[in-house]
Amino acid sequence: MQAGLKAIDQANDRAPSLVDSAYAALKQAIRESVFAPGYQASAGELALRLGVSRTPVHEAALRLQEEGLVRIVPKRGILICALAPDDLREIYEVLIAIEASAAELAARLPEAERLLMAQDLARETDAMARALDAGDLADWGRADEAFHRILVERCGNSRFIRIIQTVNDQSHRARMLTLRLRPRLPISTEEHRATIDAIRDGASEAAREAARQHRVRARDELLPLIESIGLRHL
């Protein structure tokens, strides 16, 4: 009896890790467009491609559906959700509002925290510049994402993190899909440095405006570009 209960406990201990692994693998594949928007497959097919069993994939898909990354279609499988231009516009509205406030709060942190945060933000911005010089747009995108993640995660408002998480994965996928279409990537590093300088100096209003203008400029560049080439889904 005890041996049976122990086996059940061990199975229960293992199950969450399998689901978490499937969730992480599937999410990463969606974020990096290994599974492109509009791609549809059965749980079994996805399990085969990810090297896991079907049950963890199904459980992972339920979590991803809550985040808006997939849609489970009865009897047809799992559909990778696409983003329409209007979706992207709404995402940018969230990013503009939260990141502007995050930069303002970051500039009000105690000096030691501000300086450390500015140092870490500068590290990712330098990585962006190096990646751009090397022509490695994938690394550029990952460093850009890290900059914005640090800005929100360490500004001092934990609720910002929970709110923005729902759009971060979608915005990253849009970022990676459109990098080669955007002609003004070097400007992003300059705008990042303006935000960093304001945070380092404790200039809260300047930090807020620099972060806001950065996202506004990116939105106003990207959305007309998508419309001009007739791209209806990302």
CA dist., res. 97 & res. 120, Å (int): 22
**Which CATH topology does 2-80 take?**
Arc Repressor Mutant, subunit A (1.10.10)
Give the pLDDT band (50/70/90) at residue 156.
very high
> Is the model more confident about 168 or about 220?
220
Query: For the chain, which residues make up each domain, given as ranges?
Result: 2-80, 85-228
Query: Once rounded to an integer, what is the mean pLDDT over residues 135-145?
Result: 89
**Which CATH topology does 85-228 take?**
Four Helix Bundle (Hemerythrin (Met), subunit A) (1.20.120)
Give the pLDDT band (50/70/90) at residue 44.
confident
CA dist., res. 234 & res. 223, Å (int): 12
Give the pLDDT band (50/70/90) at residue 147.
very high
Do the beta carbons of residue 30 and residue 69 sit within 8 Å? yes
Query: Once rounded to an integer, what is the mean pLDDT over residues 105-114?
Result: 98
- DSSP per-residue codes, 173-209: HHHHHHGGG-TTHHHHHHHHHHHHHHHHHT-HHHHHH
> Is the model more confident about 52 or about 234?
52
Give the residue carrying structure tokens 């201990």: 13
The pLDDT score that the predictor gives to residue 230 is: 62
The pLDDT score that the predictor gives to residue 16 is: 56
Per DSSP, what are the bridge partners of residue 72?
78
Say how far residue 174 (Cα) sits from the centre of its chain: 9
Determine the straight-line distance between the first and last CA of the chain, rounded to whole angstroms.
54
The pLDDT score that the predictor gives to residue 232 is: 64
* Max Cα–Cα distance, the chain, nearest Å: 68
Q: Which of 77, 83, 12, 6 lies closest to 48, judged by CA?
A: 77
**Above 90 in pLDDT, residue 64?**
no
Q: What Rg value do the Cα atoms of the chain yield, rounded?
A: 20
